[in-house]
């Protein structure tokens, strides 16, 4: 088991207006914002890890925590992470070679009405996806919750938006909100259907993160040029922990077809 495992704590282009962000319309993108549709690995890319969770022992390929079980997936098997008062911290952990420009993609299915904030009782929600630098480097936390971080042009958080934050950055809002499209959120995809989550991270000063849901760009901070540690990513954990658990808000997250790659 890796040294990262015990250190998870328990506890773009700027839109011209917030109305544009809330509408889900596609703004004009500049700079690094070249990929409007979610990227997919191609034959020229380097696949660091790929897993459809089929086979007799899909969990044997990971360090794990919490309540996880194989279920029927998009095709073949998937994994179900069951969140409850007895298991509010469920995740897979996978290591790979240190990479400074990296992509992640997986499919998720939420139980209808799933809400890690428990109807707004815990605004911090959950740590949805965590990308770690080697010890002692700070991690990236892709969260889901009600916190109103920034930038100002992306406020307010409309509820359980997909967000990002690099703990090595002194400039980035915590969290950085969905600033491109606010229609596709955890709270609008908790419908019992399969949805696609794609994440792109570039480390180093001027680095950035991009998030796509169902191939639609929802977050892109490449135009902000925040400071970041230059150290690359070498481990991921997901889905992750609910920051503050409240009784009566059990839910499940199903995951399938996970891939990590770089260009």
Tens of pLDDT, residue by residue over 239-259, are: 999 999 999 999 999 999 999
Instruction: Report the phi/psi class of residue 60: left, alpha or beta, with left for phi > 0 and alpha for psi in -120 to 50.
Output: alpha
User: Whole-angstrom Cα distance, residue 216 to residue 212?
Assistant: 5
What pLDDT is stored for residue 44 in this prediction? 97
Entry pTM: 0.88
What pLDDT is stored for residue 35 in this prediction? 59
- Which parts of the chain register pLDDT below 70? 1-35
Residue pair 230/205 in contact by the 8 Å Cβ criterion: yes
Q: Which of 163, 178, 169 is nearest to 133 (CA)?
A: 169
What pLDDT is stored for residue 135 in this prediction? 93
Tell me the fold of 42-262.
Jelly Rolls (2.60.120)
User: Whole-angstrom Cα distance, residue 223 to residue 12?
Assistant: 5
Cβ of 136: how many Cβ atoms within 10 Å? 7
What pLDDT is stored for residue 7 in this prediction? 41
What pLDDT is stored for residue 16 in this prediction? 33
């Amino acid at each position: 088991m890796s040294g990262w495992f015990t250190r998870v704590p328990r506890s773009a282009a700027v839109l011209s207006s917030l109305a544009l962000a809330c509408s889900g319309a596609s703004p004009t993108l500049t700079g690094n914002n070249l990929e409007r549709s979610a990227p997919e690995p191609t034959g020229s890319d380097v696949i660091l890890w790929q897993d459809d969770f089929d086979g007799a022992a899909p969990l044997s390929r990971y360090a794990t925590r919490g309540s996880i079980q194989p279920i029927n997936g998009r095709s073949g098997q998937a994994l179900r992470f069951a969140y409850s008062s007895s298991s509010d911290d469920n995740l897979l952990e996978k290591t790979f070679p240190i990479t400074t420009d990296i992509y992640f993609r997986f499919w998720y299915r939420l139980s209808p009405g799933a809400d890690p904030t428990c109807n707004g009782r815990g605004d911090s929600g959950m740590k949805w996806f965590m990308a770690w630098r080697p010890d002692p480097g700070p991690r990236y936390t892709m969260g889901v919750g009600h916190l109103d971080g920034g930038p100002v042009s992306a406020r307010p958080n409309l509820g359980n938006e997909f967000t990002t934050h690099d703990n090595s950055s002194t400039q980035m809002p915590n969290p950085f909100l969905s600033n491109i499209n606010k229609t596709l959120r955890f709270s609008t995809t908790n419908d019992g259907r399969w949805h696609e989550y794609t994440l792109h991270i570039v480390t180093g000063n001027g680095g950035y993160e991009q998030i796509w849901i169902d191939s639609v760009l929802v977050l892109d901070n490449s135009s902000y040029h925040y400071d970041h540690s230059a150290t690359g990513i070498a481990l991921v954990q997901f889905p992750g922990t609910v920051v503050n658990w409240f009784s009566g808000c059990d839910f499940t997250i199903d995951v399938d077809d996970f891939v990590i790659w770089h260009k």
